[in-house]
Amino acid sequence: MLIVDSHLDVAWNALQWERDVLQSVHTIRSQEASMHGPGRTQNTVALPEMRHARIAVAIVTLLSRSTGTPAAGIDYRSPLQAHAAAHGQLAYYLALEKTGQARLLRDARLLEEHVQEWTVWDEQHPGASDAGTPPLGFALSMEGADPILAPSELEDWWRRGLRFLGLSHYGRGRYAGGTGVEDGLGVDAPALLAAMAELGVFLDLTHCSDASFWEALAVYDGPVLASHTNARALVPHQRQFTDDQFRAILERDGVIGVVTSCWQLTAGHRHGDSNRHTSLDDAVDHIEHICNLAGDTRHVGIGSDLDGGFGREGSPHDLDTIADLQAVAGLLRARGFGQDDIARVMHGNWLRVLERALG
């Protein structure tokens, strides 16, 4: 079954983590044998495994921050540096497109043709490996708006393909408070949200602080999503969303992508803990929770965030590479989900969002 993953930091891994994602996951692991730190030798994402997993479409990120707390490879001292880093990541996606590895999805017609090409190829090559597949389809998101120097600049990013935008990431962003803080919207946020509404850029509420979440919804009346977040009712932590926050997204016909990192799947899990008590079935708990809130299966999908600063050590024990996301379909089936419902979760709901965003 084809998969749409709503959150992958492909370019950030390629540039800031210096991973050649054209190589296989296992080759990258061997290249990192002498490296130390979270995620090293433990990566799960590379383009060959994405093809093998039939991840025909992914929402991929531009990720760089300027919160005033510099951190290597992600957080810069000035907005100009964050701006330049995001442009470098964009250049990487364009290079993947130029060399035939990926296809940047800029409009709904291209999305439709791309999905049809993948569907036909998959039907004609049952059980085949990744060799000879069509290019992967990438839609552009910015995870935290720090690289946008001023709201008036958003149209330039839109012309370059940006269709999804989150105001914040971790900490005190330039436009809004994010994970781990209580700050609300910054002074320039209303102007940026107005520009988003005018251009039709979707607001990704992931990583908003509770205050910035509700303040943004009060200002912005355009389309929303949560590309990668889980249920606070199951895992109490500010990084997750409450049921009231989920309902606010559902009221706007938004979709929520469930994350596959252990600490967001299992209550009490801490970074560095063994993953042996966490499985992909825990991700299905969060999927089912959102379906129960919505009363249907039309508002949840996969937003794996794999290799988002962690690797298989921070992922469910039954996930070695991103290709193992295919197992989610069987887990849903075991819980009584029908084939149409499974297809919505695996790809259909995100394709509906993408059709609107790219249209």
Domain count across the chain: 1
pLDDT of residue 127 exceeding 90: no
Please give the residue range of the domain that contains residue 14: 3-358
CA distance 249 to 224: 7
Per the listing, tokens 């009221």 go with: 251
- Asked if the model's pLDDT at residue 129 lies above 80, the reply is no
Q: How many CB atoms lie within 10 A of CB 68?
A: 12
Half-sphere exposure (CA, 13 Å, Cβ side) for 9?
Answer: 24
Q: How far apart are CA 346 and CA 257, in angstroms?
A: 10
Mean pLDDT of 17-32: 98
Residue whose pair of structure tokens reads 């497109």 in the numeric block: 97
Judge if pTM exceeds 0.95: yes
Q: Which CATH number belongs to the domain containing residue 154 in this structure?
A: 3.20.20.140
pLDDT in tens, 47-84: 999 999 999 999 999 999 998 777 888 999 999 999 99
Write out pLDDT tens, residues 157-210: 999 999 999 999 999 999 999 999 999 999 999 999 999 999 999 999 999 999
